[in-house]
Chain A
Amino acid sequence: MKEDYYNKPFIKVNNISFSYNDSKYILNNVNASFKKGEFTAIVGPNGSGKTTFGKLLCGILSPNKGDILIENNDLSNISLGKLGQKVGYLFQEPERQLFNPTVFKEIGFAHSFMENSEDKIEKEVEKLINDFSLDGLKDSSPYKISRGERQRVALASIFINKPSFLILDEPTTGLDLVRKEKLVELLKDLLKKGIGMIVISHDNLFIESIADRVLEISGGDIYEL
């Protein structure tokens, strides 16, 4: 039963094509599937459509043709809010997803709009602050901390929803070697917990240290390496 759960694709991409402003297709008839508990790295040259692919998978963009299924449900029928509760998306520029004056408020932000009690939110935020090594930054502004710290705040903010799947766009940009190693450890822990991941990255060392699969996007198509 458990094996079957992990073998079923969490995200299934069926023949999708996408173009900006009806110009040439960036992605043309692309098929792929992604399971939980698996780390898939997406690589490819600049402008090949990696970030576009990530944005299509989390509903920010809609394909011109084809469909994307999340747990067998058509993505076009799922609102961004509902999707955000299952799939966490880390933007290439983490400041795009930070909205609050302090790190503490930032992490608890999503739950403050749900019917959760303040005590419960506080407990969860404290746990995440600890998990993501953000002690000492609780009252700092997310805009005045280093890029690596901001990256961790953005990740912790996603994690409060306990997502089943993560899509991370260039998560190692601006991280030093120590921080990168810590990120790898953190992601490995999450993989053990059964969380699936798609990571868009140019960082070969990072990919080699953690990826189960590597897919390359090139010329509008996707290839398994």
Chain B
Amino acid sequence: MNFDPRTKLVIVFCLSSLAVFILDIQYLFFILIVSVIVSNFFKDNWSVLNRIKKFIILLIGITVIQSIFSPSGDILISIGDFSLLTTGGLIKGIRVILRMLIIIISATIMKNSTPREIIQGLIQWKVPYELAFMVSLAIRFIPILAQEAKDAYTAIQLRGIEISELTLKKRFKLYSYMFMPVLSGVIHKAKELSTSLEARAFRAYPERTSFMKLKLIRRDYLVISVSMIFTLTIFSLYLI
């Protein structure tokens, strides 16, 4: 079942706003479960959970770093006088993880809308075309950038450098070199894009005509209303 991209944008906006404003872990956990269910409803599979598995080490790392730099409460793990994990730090770490998961998972709701649909949705919301176009460009370039970073990593190894045999310091130094081709690629693409935009008379006329017209139907209004009511209810319950 495909919904209007604006409906999906409202859902993403509601879930991400809740993730940002709410501090209570129980609430955040509940919102996470809702995000997973909604994301699964829109994408018809559980692939989002498989993707999150890859981030587990990163998330654990964030918890530990949060705990080290903002210790409070009882000490759970310490090395000598140095407290590695505290109850306050642990709560803050879990809060960061839950927030990140909600934002990442809710964003996947947009995945089955094409950049063209998203751009049209924003335009029909009276967002200036230039801004909507920039959003769609950002969405379009994310996988390209990821691929370029992957290619740079492969190319570095094909230069005969055995990364697994390098010390941690050398490894970090090596990774810093990867920025050069990726950055150069980005600048090159941006230049080409701006030239082709000019060549195709971008912004030549104040009004643009579009063949695509999106129309919100009853089920879109229903989902938007439910999302708004859900968000307001959670906020009210949290603030009371």
Contact = CB atoms under 8 A, between A and B. Distances in A.
A100 interface: yes
A84 B181 contact: no
Interface string B165-187: 11000100010011011001100
Contacts of B164: 79, 81
B158 interface: yes
A143 B184 contact: yes
B138 interface: no
A82 interface: yes
Given A79-B164, A81-B164, A113-B170, A97 B184 contact: no
Contact of A96 (B162, B174, B181): B181
Interface in A78-124: 79-85, 88-89, 91, 95-101, 109-110, 113-114
Given A96-B151, A99-B177, A99-B180, A84 B158 contact: yes
B155 A113 contact: no
A70 interface: no
A99 B158 contact: no
Nearest to B174: A113
How would you classify the secondary structure of chain B's contact residues: helix, strand, loop or mixed? helix
B160 A96 contact: no
Interface residues of B, number: 25
A221 B161 CA distance: 33
A151 interface: no
A1 interface: no
A31 B132 CA distance: 50
A80 B157 contact: yes
B228 interface: no
A95 B181 contact: yes
B177 to A, nearest CB: 4
Contacts of A81: 157, 160-165
Contacts of A101: 180
Contacts of B185: 95-96
Given A81-B163, A96-B151, A60 B158 contact: yes
A55 to B, nearest CB: 9
Contact of B157 (A84, A98, A157, A161): A84
A98 B180 contact: yes
Contacts of A158: 159
Nearest to B150: A60
A116 to B, nearest CB: 12
A99 B178 CA distance: 7
Contacts of B180: 98-101
Contacts of B157: 79-81, 84
Given A95-B181, A99-B181, A100-B180, A113 B152 contact: no
A43 interface: no
Nearest to B153: A80
Given A110-B159, A110-B160, A80 B181 contact: no
Given A60-B154, A80-B154, A97 B177 contact: no
Interface in B58-91: none
Nearest to B171: A113
A26 interface: no
12 contacts: A58-B158, A60-B154, A80-B154, A83-B158, A85-B160, A96-B152, A97-B158, A98-B181, A99-B180, A113-B174, A158-B159, A161-B159
Given A97-B155, A143-B184, 5 more contacts: A79-B162, A81-B163, A84-B160, A89-B158, A161-B160
